Amino acid sequence: MAEPAPITLAPMVHKLLQRSRLETTERNAILNLPHRLEKLDRDAYLIREGETSDNCTVLLSGFVARTKIARGCCRHILAIHLHGDLVGLPSVLLEAADHNIQALTPISVAYIPHDAIKALAETYVTIGQALWRDVVAEGAMFREWIFNLGRRNARQRIAHLLCELSVRQEAAGLCEKPGFEWQMTQEEMAEATGMTVVHVNRTLSGLRNDGLITTSRFSITIRDWPGLQTAGDFNPAYLHHHDRPRPGSSSTR
């Protein structure tokens, strides 16, 4: 938020490097992709269900969510994206969007033409694989969220969400400690975990009382990483990051 918005595609390169190895020439090829920069307000739609697009959106700063709306009333958050994420990659190969993409905070994005992405992936096979590796890894995150909703109770869901966001923010270079600064509202946490705001609130109190987290207005800090990991049944393997053990966690099992 306070940090200046990036004016290059560097966050995208940084993101791909979490899961793939890229040569300098390949990195430069990515940085030289034609693109258009834009800033958007909170709640702005990057794309709406049913729309088509000939640009691939890359998130350069801020937070974004994939959402669906149930019968015009309640919204559900399907995924949360951090800076560097290639939120628009699926649109390169699909016709109409099957969900919305909405800004959770003020964001800056880059639009890259589909054709440029396709050409790049054909020229540099390694980049193509890096791009698709990210898509496949996002599928793994979806599966974990399915499991989260299907088999875990309120406390586990919230703890798991906090763990995931913490690890991903750390990997994205947004913070260095096992805890993190995060301005997500309880309403949004409810939308992401299939709960109600009221119950999210009570669940957070529970975690707070057990000394796992502390909350302040617009920020949550993780006090006991191993404890929260246990409470959330969290195993970061599904994120498919390069191995990078966290401080304070003796094991990732």
Partner DNA sequence: CGGGGGTTTGAGTGAGCTCAACTATCGTGG
Partner DNA sequence: CCACGATAGTTGAGCTCACTCAAACCCCCG
Q: Residues in the site for DNA, rule: CB under 7 A?
A: 153-155, 185-187, 194-199, 201-202, 204-205, 215, 217-218
d(CA 86, CA 9): 11
Residue 149 sits in the site that holds a copy of itself (CB under 8 A)? yes
d(CA 42, CA 230): 33
- Binding to a copy of itself by CB under 8 A, coded x per residue (else -) over 153-192, reads ----------------------------------------
Q: Which does 175 bind (CB under 5 to 8 A by kind): a copy of itself, DNA, none?
A: none
Q: What's the closest the beta carbon of residue 39 comes to a copy of itself, in angstroms? A: 27
The tokens describing 176, both together, are 């260095």
The tokens describing 132, both together, are 């698709």
Q: Taking contact as CB under 8 A, which single stretch among the options 6-14, 27-35, 87-95, 169-177 is the one that binds a copy of itself?
A: 87-95
The H-assigned helical ranges of the chain are 10-17, 24-31, 114-123, 125-151, 154-171, 186-193, 197-209, 225-231
Residue 143 sits in the site that holds a copy of itself (CB under 8 A)? yes
Select 215 or 230, whichever has its Cβ closest to DNA. Answer: 215
- Contact in structure between 49 and 103 (CB atoms under 8 Å): no
The tokens describing 135, both together, are 């898509």
Residue 64 corresponds to which amino acid?
V
Residue 94 sits in the site that holds a copy of itself (CB under 8 A)? yes
